[in-house]
Amino acid sequence: MIPRHVAFIMDGNGRWAQELGLPRNQGHRAGTDNLKRIIKYARTKGIEVLTFYAFSTENFSRPLSEVTFLFSLISEYFQREIQEMIEEGMQVHFLGDLSLFPRPVRMVLEKTQQLTEKGDAIRVNIALGYGARAEILSAVNALLKEGVEKVDEEQFASKLYTAGVPDPDLIIRTSGEQRLSNFLLYQSAYSELYFTDRYWPDFDTEAFEEALTEYGSRSRRYGGIEEK
Ligand code: IPE
Ligand code: IPE
Ligand code: MG
């Protein structure tokens, strides 16, 4: 059984670098370079949607030098990779409040989204300036603005950044931490969670395959009883 939607909490870039005696930022660079191999592998597996948690609303509280480095890394990455992304048929979406980013970065992100909108091989969501609580509150506020008195699940989901995307079947967190850190709190109601000690830059296709095998052995019950 292959999951339709796999989401990644790409954690451990800083520790990966520190253990090699490198500055943390080198870890972020290595982590960014890892994205491509994971996306390509997911495509060969027939996975339809990938979501990567790249920068949370809380990550803005990091030292300015790290935040600034991440901004330039992100915008360089999408400028460099855009052509290949189009050729590979990726449809890229950013989940989060892009207004939190400086204008030049935002423009690169918006352009990436526009230029890949016809991609039909795989959908790739990048969560940037993303926090699940902020996402839920912005959905609530959007509904209040429409003057609704009552909301159902479908209506609510349509106001989330993930509107139209199936919930994640599998959430993988690297680096040994076992928490969601404000990631997809509404959408993860029945997601399978997978934790690995590997740091994100070391999370290779073999490690991904292991996670997929483990997912395949799980029994998803959604509150019901096991189907034979
Ligand atoms: C994840 O790696 C990337 C971001 C949150 C931007 P970290 O930077 O959190 O790495 P650790 O957890 O400090 O090792
Ligand atoms: C979660 O990692 C956010 C991303 C991977 C972008 P953090 O490193 O920010 O999470 P905590 O602080 O360890 O919970
Ligand atoms: Mg971390």
Residues 49-86: tens digit of each pLDDT: 999 999 999 999 999 999 999 999 999 999 999 999 99
Whole-prediction pTM? 0.98
pLDDT of residue 226: 80
Domain spanning 5-217, CATH architecture: 3-Layer(aba) Sandwich (3.40)
Q: Please state the rounded mean pLDDT for residues 181-190.
A: 98
Return mean pLDDT, the chain: 97
Q: Distance from the CA of 23 to the center of ligand 1, in angstroms?
A: 12
Rounding to the nearest 10 degrees, give the CA dihedral for residues 44, 47, 48, 52. -100
Tokens of 64: 């300015």
The mean per-residue pLDDT over the stretch 192-205 comes to 98
Is the minimum distance from the CB of 81 to ligand 1 under 6 angstroms? no
Q: Which ligand is nearest to the CA of 183?
A: 2
Residues 6+ apart with CB under 8 A from 49: 4, 5, 6, 122, 123, 124, 125, 165, 166, 168
Q: Over 90: is that where the pLDDT of 228 sits?
A: no
Which atom from ligand 2 is nearest to the alpha carbon of 12? Answer: 8
Mean pLDDT of the 210-227 span: 94
Q: Which atom of ligand 1 is nearest to the CA of 11?
A: 1
Residue 11 designated active-site: yes
User: 115: closest CA among 141, 151, 137, 84?
Assistant: 84
From 83, 78, 80, select the one nearest 101 (Cα to Cα). 78
pLDDT at residue 227 tops 80: no
Looking at the CA of 200, name the nearest ligand: 1
Q: Is 131 in the pocket of ligand 1 (CB under 6 A)?
A: no
pLDDT for 6 beyond 80 = yes
Residue 10 beta carbon below 6 angstroms from any ligand 1 atom: yes
- Kindly tell me if the per-residue pLDDT of 193 is higher than 70: yes
Q: What is the C-alpha separation between 158 and 173, in angstroms, rounded? A: 26
Distance 216 CA to ligand 3 centre (A): 27
Average pLDDT over residues 174-203: 98
Q: What is the pLDDT of residues 10-29, one digit of tens each?
A: 999 999 999 999 999 999 99
Q: What is the pLDDT of residues 92-125, one digit of tens each?
A: 999 999 999 999 999 999 999 999 999 999 999 9
| Cα 58 to ligand 2 centre (Å) | 8
Closest ligand 2 atom, residue 58 Cα: 9
Q: What is the mean pLDDT of residues 166-186?
A: 98
Calpha distance 38→203 (Å, rounded): 9
Which of 13, 59, 120, 141 is labelled catalytic? 59
Q: Choose the residue to mutate in 8, 11, 57 for probing ligand 2, maximizing ligand atoms within 8 Å of C-beta.
A: 11
CA distances from 7 to 83, 142, 170 (A): 24, 25, 6
- The C-alpha atoms of residue 183 and residue 126 are separated, in whole angstroms, by 12
Measured in Å, residue 44 CA sits from the centre of ligand 1 at: 28
